[in-house]
Homo-oligomer: A and B are copies of this chain.
Amino acid sequence: MFSNTVKYAIKASLYLAVNSSEDNKLVIKDIAAPINVPQAYIGKILQSLSRKNLISSTRGPKGGFYLKEQQYQTKIMDIVEAVDGEERINSCLLSLDKCNSENPCSLHHLVYTEKNAINLKLKQTTLEDLKNHIMQGKSVLPL
């Protein structure tokens, strides 16, 4: 469903949501280690999220990655689309070019209700929501 890269991106963003702040920025290696993702690779991914303003970064001493207030409102789907592109998540199960309710592929009816439900949640759920969920002990930060 998600590429490895997007999984890393979500883990890292969530890790920032829980552990960083404007005056407690995190350097790459302190993000990579706890979420168990190769350092150089997550660096690239964070760079690209930062360029798209989904997270923030500053260079130099005391620099690092962090979230600004407004970025806690980033939706999970924003991250997915920024990394994997819109096509991937919206493509039909069999990758039919034009699969929709009028011209449904053979698996369309098996999944479309659930797929829409999941997509809606990904569009509504923010990093803050997930952070709160974690703080309440209802889920664990992924390793």
Question: B106, A141: Cβ atoms under 8 Å?
Answer: yes
Residues on the B chain within 8 Å of A10, using CB: 94, 106-107
Nearest-neighbour CB distance to chain B for A77, whole angstroms, equals 11
A88-111 contact mask (Cβ, 8 Å, vs B): 1 or 0: 000001111101000111111111
Q: A14 CA to B105 CA in the complex, in Å?
A: 11
CB-based nearest B residue for A108: B139
Q: A110 CA to B126 CA in the complex, in Å?
A: 12
CB-based nearest B residue for A143: B96
Residues on the B chain within 8 Å of A142, using CB: 94, 96, 99, 105-106
A67-105 contact mask (Cβ, 8 Å, vs B): 1 or 0: 000000000100000000000000001111101000111
Q: Which 10 A-B pairs have the closest CB atoms?
A: A114-B114, A94-B142, A1-B1, A110-B121, A104-B139, A106-B139, A105-B142, A106-B130, A96-B142, A114-B118
Measuring CB to CB, which residues of chain A are less than 8 angstroms from any residue of chain B? Answer: 1-2, 4, 7, 10-11, 14, 76, 93-97, 99, 103-111, 114-115, 117-118, 121-122, 125, 130, 133-134, 138-143
